[in-house]
Structure 1
Amino acid sequence: MANYRTRLRNIGCPELSINAAKEKRRTTGKGPNQVKKPRKAEVSYCPDYPIGETKASLELERKILLLEVKKKNQPLIKAKMERTFAYRRQEIIQDMPFITEFQDRWPALFSESELNAEFTRITTVPLLSRIMSKLDHYTNQLMKVFRKKGGAAGHKMSMIVAAMDKNPTVETRRECILKALCVYLNGNPENFIKDYVVVEPGAMRAMEEKVMEIYVIRHEGAEPTESPEDVGIIIEGVEVLQDLRDVANGCAVLFGLIYSLNLTYPKRPEIHV
């Protein structure tokens, strides 16, 4: 067993070969300084290709998938995304492409349904239903914790959750809980969930400067409790998703993007919702 990992690496086990010194020098031009390893709950971090498939055959599948995306053939898109999962995952882990490059190669991934499916492939856990059910389950307990918080943070959380009384919808409740949780963790929710007015000058320029953000578009004069005109996600200054309906859904989808694209968690604590 002493050389078990070496044997696995020699026969081409992807999760071990990506951390070989030779491989790191090939992809980065430098010696190894960081170990690529799964996050918590990642079951399929860097899987092998399906039996009988090669890099060339899966690249052909990817090109066929691009054509099906244009045709909007959803059943075939789902099947092709499932089949090319290992190829796509190894590309993300090994090559670490920029978001714009990856969008061009895998446009089908950037939808709510496919991100949910990709997250399930990686973790075996359904993304949206699990996050929403847990958020709703712990809402009352979180409210009790928030009420005990004093000082400026406690006052700010009280102002945030007060919106729940004005608009007692499940979407508003979830948004308020997430924003209050940011404050409780000594963060500023505005650094993570940013409201923009439709006619606000410089809004697009401000978005392009963001590394990771959920943007909320509201019409001029809208109350915070009113439904937004659009909710989307910015990564590396690029709008990767839009029409996400509400803030809580945007948070869940962003969580799926972090796993699906193997992104590094931002260091600001308010992002860790």
Structure 2
Amino acid sequence: MAAILRVVFGEDDASKLSLPNGIPSSVECLKEEIRRQFDLSQNFRLQYRDIEFNNEFVNLTLTSEIQNKSTVKVVYLPLESVVSLHDTVQGTDAQSSSTSVDDTDIPSLPKSHSSYSSLRSLPWPTNFQIPEFSYEVQVQLERGQQAFLTSGTLLHPSTKLKSDILESLASEIIKYKMYPSNTEFDNVAEALTTKYPCLKEQGSVCGYYGWKISLKYKMANYRTRLRNIGCQELIINGMKEKRVSMTSSPNQVKKPRKAEVNFCPDYPAGETKESLEEEREALVLEVKKKNNKQLIQRKMEQTFAYRRQEIIKDMPFIAEVKNRWPALFSETEIIAEFTRITTVPLLSTFISKLDFYSNHLLRVFKKKGGAAKVNINFIMAAMDENSSIDVKRECILKALCVYFNENPNDMIREYVDVDLATGQTIEQMTMGVYAVRHEGADSTEAPEDVGVVIEGCTVLEALGDVAKGCALLLGLIYSLNLQYPKDLKHTFEFFQKVLMELDGNKLSAKVQILKNKMLE
């Protein structure tokens, strides 16, 4: 999803930053984009306007704190200040205690920067850009183009030329995905023949079918080479790994299935499994302390690849993940983890898109007939008694389940505090959002508690409203590499592909029909 930011460089000096593929997943990637677009060479940090401090500028540590049309400020750092900061961190305990350093400056250090270097920062582009080929290839293509424009003669590339072109395309594709879909192969092949019409195939209806098939084979070979040199995202599907893991079928390929951009990244440069395990143990201790939010955020960024590999390879139970990674089970870190995995902000995107489509959904729901209409009308009656936005969102989410012939109680379950006191437990849920109301409460009263349960384990509490609970449940499914509940597969597909716009060009029949009706 495209985004724009207002970048302030100084007094009376601001520019617009265009981000065609949305806000990057990390602050370092955003800084790199600012450097590229505005040709900056000096080191700097970023600040943003924080509404909790009357829109004063504060240091930006997570890109999830900003959204489309936000304002960020560039604060230049003199070279000597970076050196002194590095010396301070590496110095003695006495020097560290006598020097006051803002935690947000630390990501500019080389070690912290390395934590982002292995991550992809952009999702699959709307329009795939063909890369610049080598000089030798470029010369042959330009001659072919001239002959095509002059006489309409198509270029018949030699085996070596075709292999070089496919190699460059595969190298560019890997920047976005290891396992492109059939549609994405179409995108690349079509972009190639659009940029170089001399490469079109006469025997193909679309003009690029042969290129598409060749590109699939080239990508398979390219993945094999990457696996042989130790790429973790591919090693997990090696036969040796599958023999070790007895919990999964040897034919089950562990790959992105929900449009994950950073599915199983490699460790940051200079890090090992042992060093990252030490960071994890330190992180567990930091969670028990107070006033160290920025340090926790930084350690969670640093251990992201280690955490993802553990979750994907070992597939631990939720209780075990919660014990080893307690910092992950907080609203802030779930939002950050989702953004690391998909490059898309979670909560702001989910809520804004839900609000954007709300009136369209209500119009479609009113036309629904049969038993579903009765159930939807019963759900929507709460909006007549309470016109708050939280109630409206909750009603729409429940009605969405009914529209897809799915049970809303499977996703959002309500409890009365008296029932919980008499022995009924929230942990009886397998996966979903719970809302606890006190006995005799009407629809105008907010729930006493809203939380999320996964595998019978309460992982989040005190969320405030149901819509936020649903968004964070989606974030947890991505963070823990879980499958969508089968009884709610269409509802979660709508969340992912329509609200979050992740892999939104491949919809099931039910979701496609609803989207068509919404946009009529």
TM (normalized to structure 2)?
0.51
* Paired residue type of 2:260: E
Equivalent position of 1:87 in the other structure: 306
User: Structure 1, residues 155-190: CA drift from partner, whole Å, max 9, x if none?
Assistant: 211121121121111100100000010100101111
Is the Cα–Cα contact under 8 Å of residues 21 and 31 in structure 1 kept in the other structure? no
* Paired residue type of 1:124: T
1:158-197, aligned counterparts within 5 Å? 158-197=377-416
* Paired residue type of 2:367: K
Is the Cα–Cα contact under 8 Å of residues 213 and 234 in structure 1 kept in the other structure? yes
Equivalent position of 2:483 in the other structure: 264
Asked if 1:240 corresponds to 2:473, the answer is no
User: Structure 1, residues 123-170: CA drift from partner, whole Å, max 9, x if none?
Assistant: 000000000000000001001100000111112111211211211111
* Paired residue type of 1:41: A
* CA spacing shift, 1:20–1:240, aligned 2, 3 Å: same
How far 1:24 sits from its partner (Å)? Answer: 1.1
Is the Cα–Cα contact under 8 Å of residues 110 and 241 in structure 1 kept in the other structure? yes
Partner Cα distance (2:358, 2:461) in 1:
26
* Paired residue type of 2:310: E
SS at match of 1:215: strand
Partner Cα distance (1:96, 1:141) in 2:
39
How far 1:5 sits from its partner (Å)? Answer: 1.6
Asked if 1:51 corresponds to 2:272, the answer is no
Partner Cα distance (1:107, 1:68) in 2:
10
Asked if 1:137 corresponds to 2:381, the answer is no
Is the Cα–Cα contact under 8 Å of residues 25 and 31 in structure 1 kept in the other structure? no
How far 1:4 sits from its partner (Å)? Answer: 2.0
How far 1:12 sits from its partner (Å)? Answer: 1.1
SS at match of 1:115: helix
Equivalent position of 1:38 in the other structure: 256
Partner Cα distance (2:251, 2:394) in 1:
39
User: Structure 1, residues 98-125: CA drift from partner, whole Å, max 9, x if none?
Assistant: 1111101000000001000000000000
Considering Cα pairs closer than 8 Å and 6+ residues apart, tell me whether 1 or 2 has the greater RCO: 1
* Number of corresponding residues: 271
Equivalent position of 2:445 in the other structure: 226
Partner Cα distance (2:278, 2:316) in 1:
19
* Paired residue type of 1:90: Q
1:110-125, aligned counterparts within 5 Å? 110-125=329-344
Partner Cα distance (1:158, 1:3) in 2:
55
Equivalent position of 1:22 in the other structure: 240
Partner Cα distance (1:31, 1:84) in 2:
28
Partner Cα distance (1:30, 1:158) in 2:
44
Unaligned runs of 5+ in 2: 1-217, 496-520
How far 1:208 sits from its partner (Å)? Answer: 2.6
User: Structure 1, residues 180-213: CA drift from partner, whole Å, max 9, x if none?
Assistant: 1010010111122111111103321xx3332102
Is the Cα–Cα contact under 8 Å of residues 186 and 269 in structure 1 kept in the other structure? no
**More moved, 262-271 vs 175-184:** 262-271
Partner Cα distance (2:365, 2:248) in 1:
47
Asked if 1:8 corresponds to 2:226, the answer is yes
* Paired residue type of 1:43: V
Is the Cα–Cα contact under 8 Å of residues 259 and 342 in structure 2 kept in the other structure? yes
How far 1:255 sits from its partner (Å)? Answer: 0.3
Partner Cα distance (1:82, 1:30) in 2:
28
Asked if 1:76 corresponds to 2:295, the answer is yes
User: Structure 1, residues 211-265: CA drift from partner, whole Å, max 9, x if none?
Assistant: 1021111000111342000001111111111001011010000000000000111
**More moved, 1-10 vs 64-73:** 1-10
**More moved, 186-195 vs 113-122:** 186-195
Larger radius of gyration between Structure 1 and Structure 2: 2
How far 1:31 sits from its partner (Å)? Answer: 5.7
Partner Cα distance (1:130, 1:39) in 2:
20
Asked if 1:202 corresponds to 2:420, the answer is no
SS at match of 2:486: coil
Unaligned runs of 5+ in 1: none
Equivalent position of 1:254 in the other structure: 473
Is the Cα–Cα contact under 8 Å of residues 411 and 488 in structure 2 kept in the other structure? no
Is the Cα–Cα contact under 8 Å of residues 386 and 443 in structure 2 kept in the other structure? no
Is the Cα–Cα contact under 8 Å of residues 65 and 77 in structure 1 kept in the other structure? yes
* Paired residue type of 2:279: E
SS at match of 2:429: coil
How far 1:27 sits from its partner (Å)? Answer: 2.1
**More moved, 112-121 vs 194-203:** 194-203
Asked if 1:151 corresponds to 2:346, the answer is no
SS at match of 1:268: helix
Partner Cα distance (1:85, 1:267) in 2:
28
SS at match of 1:199: helix
How far 1:30 sits from its partner (Å)? Answer: 6.7
How far 1:11 sits from its partner (Å)? Answer: 1.1
**More moved, 57-66 vs 34-43:** 34-43
User: Identical aligned pairs, as a percentage?
Assistant: 65
